[in-house]
Amino acid sequence: MTLGPLMVDVLGLELSEQEREILQHPLVGGVILFSRNYESPEQVSALTESIRALRDPHLIISVDHEGGRVQRFRKGFTRLPPVGALGKHYMQHPKLTLEHVEISGWLMAAELRTVGVDFSFAPVLDLDYGVSEIIGDRAFHRDPEAVSSLAYAYIQGMKRAWMPAVGKHFPGHGAVEIDSHLGLPVDSRYFEDMLQADMLPFSRLCHSELAGIMPAHIVYEQSDDLPAGFSPFWIKEILRDRLGFQGAVLSDDLSMEGAAVIGDSLARAEAALSAGCDMVLVCNNPESVVQVIDGLKIIDDPVRHMRLVRLHGRHSINRDDLFASEQWKQAAKTVLNYAPDPELELSL
């Protein structure tokens, strides 16, 4: 059975019968987990195991688990720092910072792999211009060269834990103030300026390091009048043809306000897939999932399937063995020195 182009969510700590039916639909290819799906490592392991048992090849299982304000699983997991807390030391201590960033990427990935998660939507490749509250310290740095180097190190850590990397938010979310969860941001910069800045980390990493890329729900008005996630210009002409990216393109959540300009949930899914996305996220609205499944007409695409299959994590990691290892103990000690305020969290 091929992997379909929809990534959906589930409501609770275990699958309902209706969710089992939905997840077996041929249009579905993946599941994204949220904090509401997490109670303990044992519980979420049972949940991911039940999801994997439904299909062969199994559905892709993902989560937003960057660290800092965006970390879905807390109790029983190391409290990860925001990558900006690591990156702020880069200019003064580049070698040591790169080592710590790689350790952080490995720790994030290794702990998730022990509970059956294939990948986290990471790393964030946006630049921190000091404008966007929704990005902020989720970004490594302001300088594009620094972001490229730091993200490369982070991905090497993820690779050591057999987790593919999915970079976001192409072509760059850091220069707009509006949160695309709440409205439609408009970026007025010219393409060539963005090419030498925001797009640089994507262009440096898209050939061999990134298995997937998520475009932004932002209109870059000097280049196109459509948000990037619905734009053939950004996905096909720039990301595919100009930058040469051959991995999977995954939309941001279609329930976000930044996507509302396109129409209802079905129209958004159709537009994103037509623009060149391989997989679209339909989350936080069960009625929308049913609407899209009932209305979407799309044929199987073996190229899309192969791109999506590469998002599977490889080589499962035993949780007890990981936590007993000296490598994990040293990694946890390293990143805890950068630990953020535990009260800070983004409800994305």
Q: Any idea which residues carry the catalytic annotation?
A: 181, 252
281 forms beta bridges with: 7, 253
Length of the chain: 348
Which residues fall within 8 angstroms of residue 190, CB to CB, at 6 or more apart?
A: 222
Whether the bond between 123 and the residue before it is cis, its omega within 30 degrees of 0, is yes
Tokens representing 96? 């040591």
Whether the bond between 181 and the residue before it is cis, its omega within 30 degrees of 0, is no
Sign of CA dihedral 266, 268, 269, 271: positive
Backbone φ/ψ region at 310: left (φ over 0), alpha (ψ -120 to 50), beta: alpha
> What does the alpha-carbon distance between residue 160 and residue 85 come to, in Å, rounded to a whole number?
22
**DSSP helix/strand/coil, 198:** coil
> What does the alpha-carbon distance between residue 176 and residue 172 come to, in Å, rounded to a whole number?
9
Cβ contact 278:219 at 8 Å: no
Residue 138 is given by DSSP the state: G
